[in-house]
Amino acid sequence: MSLPPTHHIPVLLEEVIRWLVPQPGAVVVDGTLGGGGHARALAERVGPAGRVIAVDRDPGAVEAAAQRLAGLPLTAVHGNFADLPELLRELELPAVDAIMLDLGMSSDQLADLERGFSFDADGPLDLRFDPGSGEPASRLVNRLDERRLAELIRRYGEERFSRRIARAIVEQRRQAPIRTARQLAQVVRGAVPRRGPSRIDPATRTFQALRIAVNQELTCLETALKRFPECLKPGGRVAIISFHSLEDRRVKQAFRDDPRYKVLSKKPIRPKPEEIALNPRARSAKLRVAVRQ
């Protein structure tokens, strides 16, 4: 059965290639396969003598990429980039030449209305990258008390109205459990004061917070940043694209404070205006690059 085309546009693709400098014959890890845009470009540059190890927590992304990228020197692996040392051992690879992460959510996940990533989806409020692992967001929303909900939304969403939102969620679930993304988005929108037009939906930060929580995203990133140097050859590069300050702060600190890294990008690399015009989701992207000493 043929696959529908991917909706995902790889962010900062030109910059990733320029900074990672993938050479023919190199072995490169794409730890966030997604729609396969970065992995395809990397595989084309390492050529038949090289190899791209493309990892994703979403089994659907791995299955789709295995078909879309057939014929390229690429191995698609269902797994978590935080477990990269174990994944490489299974593949009998002692170390690789480069690693990249694109921490943004895939547009293909947003387009899947059964996953709950889209605010207006009537499917289950799930938000898990791997639907077979962990607790769905709907259970979290209906289980946590008001104080813990507010703290989660504030900490992971950096949402100034976290208490109002938590209170509104608790009031709503007294009437009926919150089951879908559309239900939650409506509750949040009703709780957040509107002061003129806004570039982002009022529900954005709450959904971000829940997604980070159910996928343990920051814990996985912190673990990966500590473990990546043992996976890289000396002189190997790591490039990480983040989309909000919680991620970017951790990448910046790890690259600066871990003596095994040497920072190559003194300031975060941002998308050009032309890229943002073509792909508005790229506007908050920041790329940082380091080399293994």
DSSP of 212-261 = HHHHTHHHHHHHHHHHHHHHEEEEEEEEEEESSHHHHHHHHHHHHH-TTE
Model pLDDT for residues 96-122, shown as the tens digit of each residue: 999 999 997 766 655 565 665 788 778
3-state SS class at 198: coil
Please say whether the beta carbons of 124 and 114 come within 8 A. yes
Amino acid in position 146 = E
pLDDT value of residue 9: 87
Q: Where are the beta strands (DSSP E) in 154-217?
A: none
Residues of the chain with CATH 3.40.50.150: 13-108+217-292
Query: Considering Cα of 111, then 117, then 122, then 124, what sign does the dihedral take?
Result: positive
Length of the chain equals 293
| Residues of the chain below pLDDT 70 | 1-7, 106-116, 196
Which CATH entry fits the domain spanning 13-108+217-292: 3.40.190.170, 3.10.20.740, 3.40.50.150, 3.10.20.30?
3.40.50.150
**What span, in angstroms and rounded, lies between the C-alpha atoms of 147 and 164?**
11
Closest to 204 measured CA to CA, from 251, 149, 244, 170: 244
Model pLDDT for residues 171-202, shown as the tens digit of each residue: 999 999 999 999 999 999 999 998 767 778 99
Model pLDDT for residues 153-171, shown as the tens digit of each residue: 999 999 999 999 999 999 9
Which CATH entry fits the domain spanning 112-215: 1.10.150.170, 2.60.40.10, 1.20.120.920, 3.30.1340.10?
1.10.150.170
Residues of the chain with CATH 1.10.150.170: 112-215
